[in-house]
Amino acid sequence: MQHIINILVENKFGVLSRVSGLFSGRGFNIETISVGPTLDPSMSQMTIITMGDERIIEQIIKQLNKLIDVIKVVDLSEKDYIVRETALIKIHTSRPEDRGEALRITEIFRARVVDSTPATYTIEITGDENKIDAIINLLRPLGIKDIVRTGKIAIAREEMKAVALQEAKKIRA
Amino acid sequence: MKITGAEILIESLKKEGVDTVFGIPGGVVLQIFDALYNEKDLRFILTRHEQGAAHAADGYARAKGKPGVALVTSGPGATNIVTGIANAHMDSIPIVVITGQVATRMIGNDAFQEADIVGITRPCTKYNFLVKDVDELAKTIKEAFYIASTGRPGPVLVDLPKDVSGARTDFVYPEKVSLRSYNPTYYGNKWQIKQAAQAIVRAKRPVIYAGGGVILSKASEALKELAEVNEIPVTLTLMGLGGFPGTHPLFLGMLGMHGTYAANMAVHDSDLLIAIGSRFDDRVTGKVTEFAPKAHIIHIDIDPTNIRKNIHVDTPIVGDVKNVLTELNKELKAFEESRGQGIKERKPWHAQIKAWEEEHPLAYKKSNKTIKPQYVIEKIYELTGGDAIVATDVGQHQMWVAQYFKFDRPGTNLTSGGLGTMGFGFPAAIGAQIACPDKLVFNVAGDGSFQMNVQELATAVLNKLPVKVAIINNGSLGMVRQWQELFFNRHYSGSILDGTPDYVKLAEAYGAVGLRAKSPSEVERVIKEAISIKRPVVMDFVVDPEENVFPMVPAGGANADMIFEEASQGEKEKGTGKKGRKNSVLPA
Ligand SMILES: Cc1ncc(C[n+]2csc(CCOP(=O)(O)OP(=O)(O)O)c2C)c(N)n1
């Protein structure tokens, strides 16, 4: 089963290689990995998508926790979460009718054209994997020149109860 | 006052209570060696190879129960020490290794003697550091020792660029360490401990299976109490030997591939297996699906990754072994009244174990013509009264030591369990002798293994370390030869050690004492003489070249299917196992 694991790490030299080395050294696989800063500049946030049965995922999480530079590990798959990735898709649009078609598709998917030349459009789309795969499939007949996809990032959905409580607090304050 | 990074390193080591550093100098560590030059409180031991330095630091740590330290140069000095680091990593031994590095501005330029040692050792250290700023140095050393010696111990490497050891700053040694991302669990979950206590009270056929964690956490007394009060038989892993007295009536011997029949059968038939500071290594479990198939398994370990890594566990308890056992023993006091009854109900279990012990005791065919390796080990045990530190190398002789030397105390069995590093024993014995100058220290070596770090004879002689090397000289890479005999049609491919030197002369060439025994009648005299000489001694025991280690669980086989040596006890039926095989005759 696919798991989405968020890892809060020390923002230090070599940490990415400690994490990726753990996966390669123990034969765990990484489908996507993304790393970015957090509000606290001394920490970074990684999101790793990996596959494995329950026993493997348990080991992955334990092994990650064991790394000295890892501060916190959360398996989002146990929770309700939002996952997103972004793709930049460059398509051929030399024929006028292709330009029209491309714009229509872009609109339907609420994507954006972020660069345009007489012969190409570059489209930016953000969404879950299904949405991105779907737009790619529709754009394919026009002729795709290049695609770049980010890894996935994910965040737990706030529980409704907690939200309600916060709202209540705000009102009281 | 501002002092150099090199001086800060030395002062920091002293603050950590370090008294000995093993290593070899080189270009980028000259500044550090200069700081060592007039140093009175730190003894520097020059080894003859960096691998020797790491194993010596490791042996020191095992014998003394505190971190050992090695200091080497960049590039080849650093890469030479990797095996020693990996060895300490696999056995969870706290060592701190300082490597010199090229100047920070040169890093990444393929500078002379540059190696990315932090990259190379990332998977085989508990943690490693590259110090880029002299202001970070003292803190880094503090953290290195803290990480190496707490939680599940292990090696930590500090890579120190030349310009950093030359730079000056104020020396302030931190009082404490706090790492937000490193918080080992020391105390077991109370509820789980209660569950474990109840399982122990209920069990009819319990067995304790303990490993190196007992020694690392200094939990031998607590283990003994658990076993004695509840009358639970104990088996130990190779790393665990010494953690429970080898002479204790509840001791079953080692388990696993070359374990005793009683230990393997007891684990196999147990209804409760209490795994303590052990990690279900494949050499222990054999075929996992047939390991302790009927048992409820309690697993106590400080490293959560060890739990459920190889085997399903019913009651996991993460925590320091000593703390958990102390709590567990307390918890078990609540059952004081019903204990007598429970113990009575276990009578048949103890009787069964006794029957297994009698059915297949450890045995070998005695001879008065050729020296049997097991006989040498028995004699060393007897003549030292068991009161010795014994470091071994890797191979048949290692297994014979595990089987025939009854280790009674922790910190006396120094062996390369996880990595299985030939060449470990001699430098480890040197480190142990430095850690424990008043102890009798033996290295039981294979003739193959001894040749891997034989250069350390110079270290032993120069430093007047009266280490006793007992070479079990079978003229071959014996353990390999054994497998080839049993499983590869006696194709002795690459396993015969032709062209070995005369070990007596070799010892003498280094200024050590060389002794030789060629027949059983000489064994006792040679050992006695070696013990009486207060200098390094190399004993060459020319043993039966065809002797094999039995019993044995073939790789991947189930522990209950051991093979025994027919020749050892005449034609014998085996437990549930297959037929034993006849010894072969070696090709001339
Ligand atoms: C560094 C290293 N290389 C190779 C091996 C593989 N190996 C395991 S046991 C063994 C033979 C050891 O021979 P020896 O030291 O003579 O001991 P014996 O088995 O004869 O007692 C070998 C080559 C090893 N464990 N370590």
Compute the distance between CA of residue B413 and CA of residue B505 in angstroms, rounded to an integer. 29
Q: Whose CA is nearest to atom 17 of ligand 1?
A: B446
Q: Note the CATH number of domain B373-542.
A: 3.40.50.970
pLDDT at B294: 95
One-letter identity of residue B560: A
Residues B545-569 have a mean pLDDT of 84
Mean pLDDT of chain B: 94
Which chain A residue is nearest to residue B143, measuring alpha carbons? A68
Q: Which residues of B touch A71 (CB under 8 A)?
A: 180-181
pLDDT at B579: 38
- The listed CATH number (3.30.465.10, 3.40.50.970, 3.30.360.10, 1.10.1060.10) that belongs to domain B3-169: 3.40.50.970
Q: Which residues of B touch A66 (CB under 8 A)?
A: 303-305
Q: B181 and A9: CB-CB below 8 Å?
A: yes
| Residue indicated by tokens 């459009």 | A121
Q: Whose CA is nearest to atom 2 of ligand 1?
A: B422
pLDDT at residue B588 greater than cutoff 50: no
Which member of A14, A18, A71 has the closest CB to residue B180? A71
Compute the distance between CA of residue B454 and CA of residue B461 in angstroms, rounded to an integer. 12
Q: What is the pTM of this model?
A: 0.93
Range of weakest confidence among A29-33, B210-214, B215-219, B580-584: B580-584
Which member of B123, B182, B305 has the closest CB to residue A68? B182
Residue B215: CB atoms within 10 A of its CB come to: 28
Q: Give me the helices (H) in A50-92, please.
A: 54-66
Long-range pairs of B261-264 with CB within 8 A, sequence gap ≥ 24? B261/B356, B261/B357, B261/B359, B261/B360, B261/B551, B261/B562, B261/B564, B261/B575, B262/B353, B262/B356, B262/B357, B262/B360, B263/B235, B264/B553, B264/B559, B264/B560, B264/B562
Atom of ligand 1 nearest to the CA of B400: 21
Domains B190-359 and B373-542 belong to one CATH topology = yes
Range of weakest confidence among A10-24, B35-49, B333-347, B561-575: B561-575
What percentage of chain B exceeds 90 in pLDDT?
92
Chain mean position to CA B199? 31
Options B7, B11, B16, B50, the catalytic residue: B50
Which chain B residue is nearest to residue A10, measuring alpha carbons? B181
Q: A65 and B304: CB-CB below 8 Å?
A: yes
Q: B122 and A68: CB-CB below 8 Å?
A: no
Separation of first and last alpha carbons in chain A: 44
Range of weakest confidence among B488-492, B513-517, B558-562: B558-562
Which member of A10, A13, A58 has the closest CB to residue B181? A10
Q: Is domain B190-359 in CATH 3.40.50.1220, yes or no? A: yes
From the list B263, B232, B244, the residue with the least C-alpha distance to B359 is B263
CA-CA-CA-CA dihedral for B464, B449, B53, B539, to nearest 10: 0
pLDDT at residue A73 greater than cutoff 50: yes
- pLDDT per residue over B241-266, tens digit each? 999 999 999 999 999 999 999 999 99
- Residues with beta carbon inside 6 Å of ligand 1? B 393-397, 420-422, 446-449, 472, 474, 476-480
Compute the distance between CA of residue B552 and CA of residue B378 in angstroms, rounded to an integer. 20
Compute the distance between CA of residue B376 and CA of residue A144 in angstroms, rounded to an integer. 76
pLDDT at B340: 80
From the list A8, A7, A6, A10, the residue with the least C-alpha distance to A42 is A10
Quote ipTM for the complex: 0.87
- Phi/psi region, residue B411 (left: phi>0; alpha: psi -120 to 50; beta: rest), is left
Q: A68 and B119: CB-CB below 8 Å?
A: no
Q: A62 and B304: CB-CB below 8 Å?
A: yes
pLDDT at B555: 84
Contact B313/B307 with Cβ under 8 angstroms? yes
* Sheet of B206-210, strand order: B251-254, B234-236, B206-210, B272-276, B296-301, B315-318
pLDDT at B583: 37
Range of weakest confidence among A25-34, A151-160, B465-474: A151-160
For residue B568, name the pLDDT band (cuts at 50, 70, 90).
Answer: very low
- Tell me whether residue B479 is one of the annotated catalytic residues: yes
Mutate to test the interface with B, among A13, A66, A70 (most CBs of B within 10 A): A66
What are the residue ranges spanned by the domains of chain B? 3-169, 190-359, 373-542
Nearest-neighbour CA in chain B from A118: distance (Å): 44
Separation of first and last alpha carbons in chain B: 71
| Overall residue count recorded for chain A in this entry | 173
Which chain A residue is nearest to residue B313, measuring alpha carbons? A55
Compute the distance between CA of residue A50 and CA of residue B87 in angstroms, rounded to an integer. 30
B480 CA to centre of ligand 1 in angstroms: 7
Range of weakest confidence among A23-27, B335-339, B458-462: B335-339
pLDDT at residue B566 greater than cutoff 60: no
Q: B122 and A14: CB-CB below 8 Å?
A: yes
pLDDT at B341: 83
Give the SS3 label for residue B540. strand
Contact A11/A43 with Cβ under 8 angstroms? yes
Nearest-neighbour CA in chain B from A68: distance (Å): 5
- In this structure, is the dihedral angle defined by the CA atoms of residues B276, B282, B288 and B290, taken in order, positive or negative? negative
Compute the distance between CA of residue A111 and CA of residue B154 in angstroms, rounded to an integer. 52
pLDDT at residue A27 greater than cutoff 90: yes
Atom of ligand 1 nearest to the CA of B497: 16
